[in-house]
Structure 1
Amino acid sequence: MSNGTEARLAELGVELPVAPAPAANYVPFVVVGDLAFVSGQISQNADGLITGKVGVDLTTEEGAAAARTCAISLLAQAKAACDGDLDRLVRVVKLTGFVNSGPDYTDQPKVVNGASDFLVEVLGDAGRHSRSAVSAGALPLGVAVEIEGIFQIRP
């Protein structure tokens, strides 16, 4: 999958960042058997953190774009969990998305679609996954979105 995945990322103009270091007392991923559990990745891009409440400060579309950045970081962490070899990535198993949103906002699934759609665009059927999309009254550093993931990898 690596050659295809790396080529697909290049086609999309996406360069995976160096896997972000943890911001507190945790590890970025844990591998158990053929599963890699990747810690929550926050919305950020080259300009810095993407902050604000979706439905208050950000539109649903802006929230989805923020979720896409989380998926890029998730793939970077999954690549690190595979010792840099995306050939070992079998599939995305599950995402859990947290959306910093206002009290009356109910389109969290549309926001997390930004991550889901990106992973399917890059990985095809191997990017299809189970998922939860939940509201959060606040997220670390005021970010708009945080997403964690479980990936199946070849040992």
Structure 2
Amino acid sequence: MTIGEGFLILRNGKKGTSPKLIKSKRGQTVGVHEVKRLWVVPAFMLIPGNILSMPFEWWPVFTLGDNTYSLILIPFAIGLHQQVQGMLPKEAVSQLGRRVVGLGILITLIAAAGYWYPIAAIVAVAIAIIGREALTLTQRMQEENMPFYFRKRTMA
């Protein structure tokens, strides 16, 4: 899911950014771009047992070995909110997208190791939550420390 989020950010995150004017810490009017996106991503999940097939005769049930699984569609909402002030919005959003894809690949590798080492699955969940929040915080702090890209420039 994190890799998918990264690709959505890379592909569609930079579309439709909204420029707005804010006051800087020094009281000057400067421009920023606000990125607000929301995607609904459908995901099919396998539910073990025949819990869903009991009330509905027509519900699809798959048998693998001795186990039965029902298929269910769950829509996930993925959102992005970022305020860009120190670089072009396209560059900032692409940078975030690449970082999210990298985090997703790392999570996938650690989760795959969970097949042999069960504790790795728990570590993967922790890295997913903490890592995504760390990316957001890092990006915000990086933006705040950069000079305003959209500001009034004096001619010398």
TM-score when scaled to structure 2?
A: 0.25
Whose RCO is larger (CA < 8 A, sep 6+)?
A: 1
Larger gyration radius, structure 1 or structure 2: 2
